[in-house]
Amino acid sequence: MRTQVAVVGAGPAGLLLAHLLRLEGVDAVVLESRQREHVLGRIRAGVLEHGTVELLREAGLGDRLDRVGLEHHGFSLRFDRADHRVPLTELTGRSITVYGQQEVVRDLVEAAESEPCFGVSDVVLHDVTSDRPSVGFTDADGREHVLRCDVIAGCDGFRGVSRSAIPASELTCLERVFPFAWLGILAKTAPAHHELIYAHHERGFALHSMRSAELTRLYLQVGPDERMEDWSDERVWDELALRLEVDGDFELVPGPLVDKGITMMRAFVAEPMRYGRLFLAGDAAHIVPPTGAKGLNLAVADVRLLSRALTAWLLHGREGDALSYSDTRLRGVWRAERFSSEMTAMLHRSADPFERRLSLARLRSVASSTAAATALAQDYVGASEDA
């Protein structure tokens, strides 16, 4: 087997990279260890930055996004039993769109010229520092293959095999594990508010989001050692109502749960994001705490730059952008890590009384200062192409 770019991983990063490359005439083959149904059914984040939406439209992927995506022009910060709206469009001229990651993946699979190779196993990357790299794998029918290529794109997530193909002596991994987790639910009930709500409460953080006019996505800050069986549906709804409550008209209407789980909170960056002819993108290279809604958008920013760099190299012999890919993207990654960590610190309840007072001071600054609100809004919507 032969291709120009072997893409390991059929998440949004890998699928979008292959799509963008094919639009430019670069051949790509996508390998994925999970089955098709699993890939299409994974429920993930769904807040798209302004630049992400523009790129998807330019790539011919905007039809369903424009029909069912929910464009938002602001979001709410709740604390001290009051609602404080951050008017994103008024402050930045940009908006965000709520559109589930699984919907983006579905659009990409349906738009693909050739189906990704689902259900592969025993994936091994070979000779990544040579000009003849390859990927060995076993297909879903048990047949062994070697996929020869010019470049390998590692888009297989935090626990994938791509990053481990870089020798430990050549890789620096920086990580922060936060002392709390998120309990998330997806419920069949209409959203209680037309925009996202980020709530800072003495009992902990809460987030009100949505996936559609009939599906609501909600999160609670919980301890890292919490067990799902200790959280009945009734307890979850009671705690959400308590933390999201304000003085005024607001009612959270419980509904049947479609999904329920606990997610640990971490930040992670691997440096560099390129080793020879292996390029990392998405969660294979970095993880951000979900508070700032940057995970999917960072993956899109990665492949936007990588697709252009590989096109210039493989079609036109210009390798400069490919060689500088890691340095360029790490600047954007660290900006996102900084913003996501600051949002996390501002909104979550800390065990440290000093930190709790700092959080309130930050929130009150955003609520009372146009300059502080503008800085927050610019980071949230993605103020520049590589942010």
Residue-wise pLDDT tens digits, 109-146: 999 988 899 999 999 999 999 999 999 999 999 999 99
Phi and psi angles of residue 8, each rounded to the nearest 5 degrees, phi first: -100, 110
Is residue 326 included in any domain, yes or no?
yes
Please name which of 94, 113, 115, 112 lies closest in space to residue 104, comparing C-alpha atoms: 112
User: What pLDDT shows up at residue 175?
Assistant: 97
Separation of alpha carbons 382 and 387, rounded Å: 6
pLDDT-based confidence at residue 384 (cuts at 50, 70, 90):
low
Q: Which of 19, 50, 200, 294 is catalytic?
A: 294
pLDDT at 248: 82
**DSSP structural state of residue 11:** S
Domains: count for the chain: 1
**Residue 386 forms part of a structural domain:** no
Residue 290 falls in the annotated catalytic set: yes
- The CATH code of the domain that includes 293 is 3.50.50.60
Note down the domain range covering 47.
5-72+96-174+266-349
Q: Choosing from 198, 219, 275, 325, which is the catalytic residue?
A: 198
Q: Which of 12, 19, 50, 72 is catalytic?
A: 72
For the question of residue 198 being annotated catalytic, the response is yes
Arithmetic mean of pLDDT over the chain: 95
Q: Is residue 158 in some structural domain?
A: yes
Q: Select which of 133, 290, 325, 348 is catalytic.
A: 290
Angle between helices 353-368 and 325-347 (to 10 degrees): 100
- Strands of the 197-199 sheet, one edge to the other: 82-86, 75-79, 197-199, 206-210, 215-222, 172-188, 257-271, 286-287
Asked whether residue 133 is domain-assigned, the answer is yes
At 186 the three-state DSSP class reads strand
Nearest to 288 by CA among 246, 257, 333, 349: 333
Give domain status of residue 196, yes or no. no
Phi-psi region of 319 (alpha: psi -120 to 50; beta: other; left: phi over 0): alpha
DSSP secondary structure code for residue 224 in this structure = T
pTM of the prediction? 0.94
For residue 164, tell me if it sits in a domain. yes
Q: Which residues lie below 8 Å from residue 171, measured CB to CB, with a gap of 6+?
A: 163, 270, 271, 272, 275
Asked whether residue 379 is assigned to any structural domain, the reply reads: no
